[in-house]
Amino acid sequence: MPRKSRITPPSNPWPAIGIEAWTLGMEASAVIGLRVYQHMMAGPAGNAASRAEARLMVEEKVAAAAELHRTMVSGGLGSTPATATKRIIRHYASTVRANRKRLTG
């Protein structure tokens, strides 16, 4: 009778990463829609809230990119492409999720 190996082959992480990326894309689309709606309701000239949201959007993007760059340079993204991809997705997902919650109130 053959012996069973106790070593399990590594699983493929990419399908789960794909689902996380898809989820991030859907949430980001929702945030974009909420921001567009807010700006539309403010009228052609906008209002203080829509201008503040636009400014916040740009500031968040710059800050998130800078933070991700610092993490990458310090080696904080991991040693494999899959690990780095997961950490990048999760980095952006937390900000997107917080924006969605804030904008839906």
Query: Which of 28, 39, 25 shows the shortest CA–CA distance to 99?
Result: 28
CB atoms inside a 10 Å sphere around CB 99:
21
Percentage of residues in the chain with pLDDT exceeding 70?
A: 93
Kindly report the backbone phi and psi dihedral angles of residue 13, in degrees, each rounded to the nearest multiple of 5, phi listed first.
-80, -15
Q: Between 47 and 1, name the one with better pLDDT.
A: 47
What's the pLDDT band for 101 if we cut at 50, 70, 90? very high
Does pLDDT of 70 surpass 70? yes
Q: Could you say which DSSP state residue 76 is in?
A: T
Which pLDDT score is estimated for 46?
83
Q: What is the pTM of this model?
A: 0.81
